[in-house]
Structure 1
């Protein structure tokens, strides 16, 4: 025991060596080394790990399979469990109703009850008898669990961008990947239950997978992600996150109050009354903003460095956008599995190989037409990309004519 204590004390006085050992521990897990052996090494040389140390570890897994990603994350959770140092705080705004973290934690409690009590109980019934009634109970549960998308979307679009401003990337990228795996599993289970064909084991397997991964994500959020955010974000940043949360919505439960911090001097509604002179007219900033927000399309602009600089904010956006994406690179605004498409498109625009690219997809009750335009100045120099998104379902239904006086 004294040898273990000496090892830890020596590393406490040598942060770079301690970090090197942590990286080696993660490499050992990646290379398939026995978890118990790695855990013993961790306990002997590290013992306790801080949120700051976790944030410094860049977990770049590359193009791993879904199964390999899950294997690694499960091992990471096993190594970290009960080893994260508690943070002492006297004033804890996150414990106040309406604070974003307070809301996230409330949602996690509801999610935990749903997956570990309700769904588990209904799986037991289903194992005994896969009757239409028991299948329907599970289908109702999964329909409720679809709400988790709002929880994950707020995390991805509000928490992750601010972490990136502090140079913290590893946890956000990998957590988004796991979020997507969970989303896919929920959709898969819904499809299997909706058209149940008697394959009982495949339903049980995917539901158990969901329970395991949702529970593990709750642990990662509350012991790694949320403390990491609380350690770094300012009060004004939490205010922005709280205000933007309504845009995306809540999972299974909503905040009971509007959070009112002790001190708040941020005014996001202030807007200059100045005017902008353009080649074909003059508009006040207010007129310009209203004009853009009244367009029957959603537009987003990213600059030559791939940084999101503006998006319109109409009454009915097709895809959720929050102000937290402003100043964030567009690559980090997309799920990791689709980033390569974005990068290929931007590379073509910057090289001059393309000026436009179009996509069209079915999204919920909409038929969405997505267009990208390379924005170039009068000399042809690339200055950014304009994304143009429109629900064309009503247009496709048009027939005949309607003249202006009709």
Structure 2
């Protein structure tokens, strides 16, 4: 059998426009059957495989939109099985992104629908193999954590003790690593809708964690279990398809700063990247002395000062991108190198993003110069301040975030002078 060609392919081969080719075939058909045939120019000449892929995604979108309009779940599930069969995990993620991009649904609406449409598609999704990676690969580490979480969930359902619930609460480390390391890489591939939805679901789990011993153990276990399913049937397969080896290396590079839940990553995954192949020894650099406004410092000295200050600093430039954070030893909120260059809109949970953007807008317009907050968190009293940074002409150049644990400062009484330094504290 010879090769197949679409009408678009034929037009290209004979250097004619598509309409001329269609008109030619229409006239030949009319001569043969005696009736005029009106051929519509619809498809752009995609292969059968591409057409089927597009068709499946359009049907998925239609099902979810019908579900959003109040369609009955069991009927939609039956229709799904009848007309779509097996669905690829990446189709679900692409569908969510397209619904958000088109304005047909918002991130909040997708979040509300997430459990429902996963419920409709889960039978088909479970038939797809879960990704298996070498120990040390970020996906392998995520999945190892998920296996421990599943064991804890089973134990909680058998005997929901406060100790087990507290141990499962460490899943938040897993979520934080996803948000700070994996999600930024997906955003660089212009694939941000599904990650926004998952971040919103993470926050729902965090709300349960904050309830402590008062939490409904079964609800907590179910929420975590559902997130495992979403990760391993949608997020991870899609990430493996979109990200390169170099991307995964960047994801891995910042993991240690955030930490791991229950497991230690293996070291078998050692990717060979172009940087490794062409690795050369760079000559030692001279300690450049930078002239500051009031003095001179080397780059090393600046880094040492910033990392030893009793405060945490983050700087967002005028383009609303994270340009810097101080890598202090004791962190209030986890951060990793994956956040550098990330739009500030992607660095905050959806529920608080509106307030953050209002602060930045007030800084840009000159309405405000400072925004100040304080809160109790894990037994600590945290003071958070945002400062508008302007140049000598008054032009807005960015926002400085300063955070400090002021628990011990609030407890100070009386006075202690320099002359008293070294005396035993009572």
Verify same fold: TM over 0.5. Answer: yes
The reply on whether 1:119 has 2:148 as its aligned counterpart is no
The reply on whether 1:308 has 2:331 as its aligned counterpart is no
Q: Name the residue aligned to 2:207.
A: 184
The structural deviation recorded for 1:396 is 1.8
Q: Name the residue aligned to 2:179.
A: 156
The structural deviation recorded for 1:162 is 0.8
Aligned in 2, Cα 1:87/1:320: closer, same or farther, shift over 3 Å?
same
Contact 1:375 1:383 in 2 (8 A): yes
Contact 1:50 1:85 in 2 (8 A): no
Aligned in 2, Cα 1:64/1:262: closer, same or farther, shift over 3 Å?
closer
Task: Name the TM-score, length of structure 1 as normaliser.
Answer: 0.80
Q: Name the residue aligned to 2:375.
A: 361
The structural deviation recorded for 1:248 is 1.7
CA distance in 2 between counterparts of 1:367 and 1:85 reads 45
Contact 1:48 1:85 in 2 (8 A): no
Match of 1:209 among 219, 226, 235: 219
Aligned in 2, Cα 1:17/1:227: closer, same or farther, shift over 3 Å?
closer
Q: Name the residue aligned to 2:145.
A: 107
**Gaps (5+ residues) in structure 2?**
1-46, 421-426
The structural deviation recorded for 1:228 is 1.4
The structural deviation recorded for 1:258 is 6.8
Q: Name the residue aligned to 2:353.
A: 339
Aligned in 2, Cα 1:275/1:38: closer, same or farther, shift over 3 Å?
farther
Q: Which has the larger Rg? A: 2
Aligned in 2, Cα 1:36/1:14: closer, same or farther, shift over 3 Å?
same
Task: Name the TM-score, length of structure 2 as normaliser.
Answer: 0.77
The count of corresponding residues between Structure 1 and Structure 2 is 363
RMSD, aligned α-carbons:
2.9
Q: Name the residue aligned to 1:221.
A: 231
SS of aligned partner of 2:330 = coil
Residues 178-215 of structure 1, C-alpha deviations (whole Å, 9 max, x = no match): 11112222333x342xxxxxxxxxx7xx3222222222
Residues 71-90 of structure 1, C-alpha deviations (whole Å, 9 max, x = no match): x222221233243498899x
CA distance in 2 between counterparts of 1:152 and 1:44 reads 35
Match of 2:114 among 54, 59, 73: 73
Q: What are the within-5 Å matches in structure 2 for residues 275-290 of structure 1?
A: 275-290=289-304
Match of 2:388 among 370, 374, 382: 374
Contact 1:235 1:264 in 2 (8 A): no
The structural deviation recorded for 1:18 is 4.3
SS of aligned partner of 2:230 = helix
SS of aligned partner of 1:22 = helix
Contact 2:185 2:251 in 1 (8 A): no
Q: What are the within-5 Å matches in structure 2 for residues 4-403 of structure 1?
A: 12-13=50-51, 16-57=54-95, 58=97, 60=100, 62=106, 69=111, 72-84=113-125, 95-115=133-153, 117-122=154-159, 138-188=161-211, 190-192=212-214, 206-257=216-267, 259-263=269-273, 265=275, 273-403=287-417
CA distance in 2 between counterparts of 1:216 and 1:175 reads 11
CA distance in 2 between counterparts of 1:342 and 1:24 reads 34
Q: Name the residue aligned to 1:200.
A: none
SS of aligned partner of 1:353 = coil
- Highest relative contact order (Cα 8 Å, sep 6+), 1 or 2? 1
Residues 34-70 of structure 1, C-alpha deviations (whole Å, 9 max, x = no match): 22332344344433333443332225564869xx955
Contact 2:90 2:237 in 1 (8 A): no
SS of aligned partner of 1:95 = coil
SS of aligned partner of 2:202 = helix
Contact 1:302 1:330 in 2 (8 A): yes
